[in-house]
């Protein structure tokens, strides 16, 4: 029964709705015991594989008739009118906290130095002790900056 229904949908080239997409049944073929069904979804051919007629029947229940209400289309077109011309977006620089702008250069050079230290550690494992000291200093700087931010936000 489901193969007859499928064939009638193919013959009619009726537009259907499947998961919010316009679908048109194009063909089906039995390949090695499974059915391959070609459906155009939004004008893109898509192949669905179903094992048996029962699976096809359950799958076909997901397809609903596509009905177009001419009055509704007209209303959508009328509502789509724009009263004011659109203005292109303007670039506005992102606001940065004062503490960041004051210490921006120092933070950038600190980040660069840390990346260089990572490379040195990869090349020479004897540099690890020195890198640990640098890491401790960086952690201290980060903690000081956190305290400054905390004090700024409390005021």
Q: Of the candidates 46, 68, 90, which is a domain's last residue?
A: 68
Q: Identify whether 76 is part of a domain.
A: no
Q: Identify whether 75 is part of a domain.
A: no
C-alpha pair distances (Å), 130 with each of 88, 109, 125, 134, 135? 53, 18, 10, 6, 9
C-alpha pair distances (Å), 86 with each of 76, 78, 92, 101? 19, 18, 18, 34
Query: Is the same domain home to 60 and 15?
Result: yes
Phi, psi (deg, nearest 5) at residue 85? -70, 145
Mean pLDDT (10-residue bins), the chain, 155 residues: 86 90 91 90 91 90 78 50 56 62 77 85 86 86 83 73
DSSP 19: T
- Residue 49: what pLDDT? 92
Q: Which tokens is 83 given?
A: 């009263």
Give the residue numbers spanning the domain of 33: 2-68
| Structural domain count, the chain | 2
Q: Identify whether 84 is part of a domain.
A: no
Q: Identify whether 132 is part of a domain.
A: yes
Query: Is the same domain home to 6 and 62?
Result: yes
pLDDT of 90-100, one tens digit each?
Answer: 555 666 666 66
| The model's pTM | 0.43
Cα distance between residue 44 and residue 24, in whole Å: 10
């Amino acid at each position: 029964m489901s193969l007859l229904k499928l064939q009638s949908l193919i013959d009619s080239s009726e537009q259907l709705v499947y998961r919010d997409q316009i679908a048109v049944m194009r063909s089906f073929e039995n390949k090695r015991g499974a059915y391959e069904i070609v459906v155009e979804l939004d004008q893109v051919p898509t192949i669905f594989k179903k094992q048996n007629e029962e699976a096809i029947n359950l799958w076909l229940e997901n397809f609903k008739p596509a009905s177009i209400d001419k009055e509704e289309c007209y209303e959508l077109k009328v509502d789509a009118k724009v009263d004011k011309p659109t203005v292109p977006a303007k670039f506005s620089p992102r606001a940065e906290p004062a503490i960041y702008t004051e210490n921006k250069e120092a933070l950038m050079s600190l980040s660069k130095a840390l990346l260089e230290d990572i490379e040195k550690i990869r090349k020479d494992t004897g540099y690890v002790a020195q890198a640990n000291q640098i890491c401790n200093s960086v952690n201290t700087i980060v903690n000081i900056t956190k305290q400054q931010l905390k004090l700024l936000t409390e005021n």
